[in-house]
Amino acid sequence: MIKTRVRYTKDKAVITMSIENYASMCRYFNVFNSAMNEIGETMDFRLSELQSMDYLRYSLLLNLGFEKINNKSYYTEYKIPERSKKWDDY
């Protein structure tokens, strides 16, 4: 499997990932999108939709390289990596 690469230029972030990861993110997004459409109608989620939303969250974190703001807390927000850090592969 090809690692996702995030390369930073002066004003862009260039993300390269495998088609498999890209398709997976799209699949989870579609489930998320469907669930959000349903919540607008019924104000209810199915457990399978919640699980797919969790997979989408994990996939985004894994593939886009977001970093925790507070490493000591499990429930924290995320940020993009500092520009001064030299990392290409995530």
Instruction: Provide the residue ranges of all domains of the chain, joining segments of one domain with +.
Output: 5-79
The per-residue pLDDT for range 26-51, each reduced to its tens digit, is: 888 888 777 777 776 676 767 777 78
Distance in angstroms (rounded) separating the CA atoms of residues 25 and 51: 14
Instruction: Report the predicted TM-score, pTM, of the whole model to 2 decimal places.
Output: 0.57
**Does 89 have pLDDT greater than 50?**
no
Residues counted in the chain? 90
Q: Which of 25, 34, 33, 76 is nearest to 55 (CA)?
A: 25
DSSP H or E stretch at residue 48: helix 47-64
